[in-house]
Structure 1
Amino acid sequence: MTELTFQNIVDDGAILFLETHHMQDDRFEEWGYERWHTADQFASVEFHFPGRSSKHLQTAFVGTSGPGPKTFLWAWANPNVAATPAQKAVFDQVVAFGRHYGIEELTSGEVPFESIVPAFADEEFRLSAEKAGSTLVAFKIATAVKMITGRANHFTSDIGRGSMAVVAYNHGSLELGPPSALTFQMRFMEAVAAGMIEDHRRAVESYARFRLQTPVTEPSPGTLEVTFDDGQATIAFDENNRLTTMNASLTGLPSS
């Protein structure tokens, strides 16, 4: 069996996750998003847009990251959550995947922050990033669920005292447009700066495979080129596959 870790999955999907995340934010802002509401433990979420019809979406509640206990609690392990069919379908896929590859973060009901963000083992880092850490954990979990289940969209929200809820769903009005060299550059740098990815080269190669459905080229050892309709990005890595330099050239707008 090929060895696969939780972080590998996050590396594979982080750039695509952030691209989707910002697309959703932009679309909600365009629609005049005001607030969300759930009356059934995130089995469904209603998004309110003044002057427009509210959107009531069937969702799958994934779980919560809490800076108090410093753990992520999967919804299937929460005794206060009654699993819906949509939730059970997500849980079954995630847990089965985790068992197949021996990934404890996907099979343990409650996962310590430091298992998801190893830097949290450093007390100085942990104390300086409690709130940000809860968000980072939520984003990493949402990325893994997206990659494993294929649910294209996600919703993360502060539910009080710094805890973040993670919800997965699909919605036809929230689909990505054509890939763009500029968008790739911004989201890749965001993933690096936020600490979402560890193997930067793997993240780039996986994005090209999943989003562009084309392999990258390697013009010289340790350098990758990623080609888009509107330009090209050239990225250099060190011996640990971490970013050293990136240059992007834009040639025009992506075709629609």
Structure 2
Amino acid sequence: MMKTLQDLIDESIFISTEYQARLAELTGDSDWSVDFSAPSFTLEADNSVTLNPYLLGTESESRGTWIWSWKELGYFPDAVVAPAIQTREGGAQHSIDELTTDELTLKDGLARRLALAAKTLTGVYAHYPVQVGPGVRAWILLDGDLLELEAPTVNRMGRVMAQALQTGTAVNHLKAVDSYARLRGAHIAWDTEATAVITASDGALRLWFDEGKISGIEAAEPTVDASELNRCAAHAASLREQLRSERSEVENIAAAEASAQTSARAEQEAREKAEREQDDAQATAEREAAQRQKEAEAREEAARAEREKAEREAELAAAREAENVEGTTTTDRVYTEVEEPYNQAPSEDIQPGRVTTNSLPAEQVEEPAANDRSDEQIDDTEVLETETVESNDYEVVDSEEKRRGYKPAAFRVAGDAPDLAAERKEREDVEPEAEQKKEKKGFFSRFFGL
């Protein structure tokens, strides 16, 4: 018979509530520690309280998913993950996707619903969510001798059912009541779908149902004797033992899958490592090729610079060779250490002076005949000149007569107005005499403007 996820939840909701109450009695407010390698779940307040933990899966708020522990095997002992695999195998028989999909999107109450379904399929009825990181909780199932329940009583069963119904988790109350009675070793008799009587060692209860929901509960007369109750208890124990035996067989499946997953992860890690090494080798080769290219470009650039330098030197040598004309001296050879030989500042030790020019009297120079020689053949030695630098303001005295008739200009201080009348009179006194002497000037005097 195929079942749904809700059917499995309904079958475990009442017995789960009773086991959770028993677990609360043991743990109270005590701190706890879990060691999956042992495996053990220990209360810090009382080290004598040790239970067996089984990892179902984890819910991550940051990731927003539930992950079954059988998704990644090999990190925990086979016994620790066996109930999760047992749940998966049972879910596969009933085609329940929530129990066979390794990762599920979180919804409100999903982790608790999955844990309740797993309890029906594994026979481990207590659970405990433990915080293992920021926003990450691991859901574990717990069992052990300290969690074993006492023989059922109708009073306790009535309180448990009333408490469980307050959560609103159960949907099919008929299925929930029937499963609870069988799993607890009590006897249940159905008169119709509307009423049932549960008999335990301390009495009986009648439950009324309306449209599949419990509508009432009252005391009733027992319907069976003690021997039948013993048979029911033995049947309940056999159901739990059957599920425990199945869980032991599942451990073999867990071991095989863990080995396969470990090998697959090792191969994946080896491939990733090889890919990383290949990428690193390729990156190294590319860097080395780029470095070689860079060095080659640098060598080529240096060679080009050397060629350009040699070409420039050859051009300069050719230019110097072209200027090396016999009988001439170029400025670049005279001023070898000066880039601009013509652009020189005057020496600091130069002294001001007076410049005078003397020439022979006109009557002592014979003018050559017109056809004797050309102007270009005149020897410069025929004219005697003497230059003396005396000051920056100088006057040229070009003849004996002019020197005798020379009169210095009226002295004036800078800023005084010139005596124009006196200067004009001096010029009038000198000019007639100069006109008379003008006719006596020879060729050189006329040529040089003297």
TM range (shorter): 0.7 to 0.9
TM-score, normalisation: structure 2: 0.44
Structure 2 residues without counterparts, runs of 5 or longer: 223-450
Residue 26 of structure 2: aligned partner: 27
Inter-CA distance 82–189: structure 2 relative to 1 (3 Å threshold): same
Residue 124 of structure 2: aligned partner: 151
Inter-CA distance 191–58: structure 2 relative to 1 (3 Å threshold): closer
In 2, Cα distance between equivalents of 1:38 and 1:190: 29
Residue 186 of structure 1: aligned partner: 159
Contact 2:126 2:142 in 1 (8 A): yes
In 1, Cα distance between equivalents of 2:65 and 2:204: 40
In 2, Cα distance between equivalents of 1:244 and 1:57: 38
Describe how 1:101-120 pairs up with structure 2 within 5 A.
101-114=94-107
Q: Is 1:209 the counterpart of 2:193 in the alignment?
A: no
Q: Structure 1 residue 57: deviation in Å?
A: 4.2
Q: Structure 1 residue 212: deviation in Å?
A: 2.2
Describe how 1:123-138 pairs up with structure 2 within 5 A.
133-134=108-109, 137-138=110-111
Q: Is 1:95 the counterpart of 2:95 in the alignment?
A: no
Question: Could you tell me which of 195, 218, 228 is aligned with 2:200?
Answer: 228
SS at match of 1:59: strand
Inter-CA distance 162–213: structure 2 relative to 1 (3 Å threshold): farther
Inter-CA distance 8–160: structure 2 relative to 1 (3 Å threshold): same
SS at match of 2:187: coil
Question: Could you tell me which of 56, 61, 69 is aligned with 2:55?
Answer: 61
Inter-CA distance 102–40: structure 2 relative to 1 (3 Å threshold): same
SS at match of 2:171: coil
Q: Structure 1 residue 184: deviation in Å?
A: 1.6
Give deviations 1:47-95, integer Å, cap 9, x for gaps. 211xx4354544221123455666433222369x823211332232111
More helix by share: 2
Contact 1:153 1:169 in 2 (8 A): yes
Letter in 2 for 1:5: T
Greater mean deviation of Cα atoms: 152-161 or 99-108: 152-161
The structure, 1 or 2, with the larger RCO (C-alpha pairs under 8 Å, 6+ apart) is 1
Structure 1 residues without counterparts, runs of 5 or longer: 115-132, 252-256
Q: From the CA coordinates, give the structure whose radius of gyration is larger.
A: 2
Give the total of aligned pairs.
Answer: 222
Q: Percent identity?
A: 24
Q: Is 1:48 the counterpart of 2:44 in the alignment?
A: yes
Contact 2:10 2:170 in 1 (8 A): yes
Q: Structure 1 residue 190: deviation in Å?
A: 2.4
More strand by share: 1
Contact 1:76 1:83 in 2 (8 A): no
Inter-CA distance 70–250: structure 2 relative to 1 (3 Å threshold): farther
TM-score, normalisation: structure 1: 0.73
SS at match of 2:112: helix
Letter in 1 for 2:213: R
Inter-CA distance 248–21: structure 2 relative to 1 (3 Å threshold): farther
Letter in 1 for 2:5: F
Contact 2:14 2:180 in 1 (8 A): yes
SS at match of 2:188: coil
Runs of 4+ with deviation above 6 angstroms: none
